[in-house]
């Protein structure tokens, strides 16, 4: 499995542990969707992409207090100091992956004389107020463009295995995080909003945005060892990442939930598309290779 270099120094300032806190006032609620099929359909809509709450990336002014790092309830700063800690603990592993992903993007931006704006990952449980509204654990991991934050309930990774048939494992976690940070890059580049035009289908902007985020995840994976946090990835790590990408393909989920595939409703891309674009980033190791908007996705 993906291994961290034991002496690597972790920066817990990039991750906030807000488990057990709601993050402020009530905000805009996600409601009306219960367990079972409802939750799965909600995750289909929200998993690994875009703004899960208002569809357009706008904040809910005056209603949100996302807090600050000083409100952390966990002990990340004490427990997660080195790569050795990341090899022993899921919490620390998340910190390590976030550190590596952001180190990669910071270096790439610096090569083009541009300052990279970091995004903080917030770990929460049950529900949390974000710049995009009140999110429950049912929405899965997501990126909020309004506050440029990544939000994650760690219980999702177990759900990825139970409900979507993914193998799971450390690099499945890395793939999910790298995909969400791909959306952060899209937001910084002014591309993310293209997914909000309302179109669906294999060639839609919504799908192209998601596939580009998958490609960015592969691009990071290709350079993960260069960031100084991770040991070189193995073929098994890549296979686990591809397995997670396939598990959340629109066709795979539609077949699982409704017993048939309806490509005209795709918003994230098929399993084949998602795997192919991850490998495009991983194999070509070039930012420009991830332009999903100028080719057939």
Q: Which domain holds residue 286?
A: 12-290
What local confidence, expressed as pLDDT, does residue 195 receive?
87
> In what helix (H) or strand (E) does residue 189 lie, and over which residues does it extend?
helix 170-189
List b or e across 274-291, with b for residues whose CB sees 16 or more CB atoms inside 10 angstroms: bbbbbbbbbeeeebebbe
What local confidence, expressed as pLDDT, does residue 61 receive?
27
Q: How many domains are contained in the chain?
A: 1
Flag whether 152 is in a domain: yes
Mean pLDDT to the nearest integer, 95-117? 97
Flag whether 297 is in a domain: no
Q: How far apart are CA 250 and CA 272, in angstroms?
A: 10
Flag whether 273 is in a domain: yes
Flag whether 268 is in a domain: yes
pLDDT digits (tens, 9 = 90+) for 159-189: 888 888 888 899 999 999 999 999 999 999 9
Q: Compute the 3-state secondary structure of the chain and give helix, strand, coil in percent, each to the nearest 5.
A: 50, 10, 40
Flag whether 35 is in a domain: yes
Give the confidence band of 136 by pLDDT, cuts at 50, 70, 90.
Answer: confident
Average pLDDT, rounded, for the chain = 84
pLDDT digits (tens, 9 = 90+) for 12-65: 999 999 998 765 433 332 222 223 333 443 444 444 444 343 333 333 322 223
What local confidence, expressed as pLDDT, does residue 54 receive?
38
pLDDT digits (tens, 9 = 90+) for 195-232: 888 899 999 999 999 999 999 999 999 999 999 999 99
Flag whether 7 is in a domain: no
Flag whether 230 is in a domain: yes
Query: Is pLDDT of 279 > 80?
Result: yes
């Amino acid at each position: 499995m993906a291994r961290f270099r034991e002496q690597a120094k972790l920066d817990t300032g990039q991750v906030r542990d807000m488990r057990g806190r709601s993050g402020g006032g009530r905000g805009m609620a996600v409601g009306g969707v219960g367990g079972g099929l409802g939750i799965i359909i909600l995750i289909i809509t929200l998993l690994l992409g875009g703004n899960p709450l208002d569809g357009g990336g706008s904040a809910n002014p005056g209603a949100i207090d996302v807090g600050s790092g000083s409100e952390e309830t966990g002990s990340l700063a004490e427990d997660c100091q080195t790569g050795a800690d990341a090899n022993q603990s899921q919490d620390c592993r998340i910190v390590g992956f976030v550190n590596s992903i952001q180190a990669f993007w910071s270096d790439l931006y610096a090569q083009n004389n541009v300052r990279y704006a970091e995004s903080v990952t917030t770990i929460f449980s049950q529900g949390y107020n974000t710049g995009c509204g009140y999110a429950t654990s049912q929405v899965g991991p997501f990126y909020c463009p309004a506050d440029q934050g990544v939000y994650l309930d760690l219980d999702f990774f177990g759900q990825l295995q139970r409900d979507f048939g993914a193998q799971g494992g450390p690099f499945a976690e890395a793939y999910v995080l790298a995909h969400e940070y791909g959306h952060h890059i899209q937001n910084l580049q002014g591309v993310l909003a293209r997914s909000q035009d309302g179109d669906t289908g294999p060639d839609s902007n919504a799908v192209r945005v998601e596939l580009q985020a998958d490609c960015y995840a592969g691009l990071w994976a290709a350079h993960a060892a260069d960031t100084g946090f991770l040991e070189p990835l193995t073929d098994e790590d890549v296979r686990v990442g591809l397995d997670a990408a396939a598990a959340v393909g629109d066709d795979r989920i539609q077949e699982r939930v409704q017993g048939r595939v309806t490509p005209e409703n795709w918003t994230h891309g098929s399993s084949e598309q998602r795997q192919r674009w991850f490998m495009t980033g991983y194999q070509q190791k070039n930012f420009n290779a991830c332009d999903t908007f100028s080719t057939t996705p």
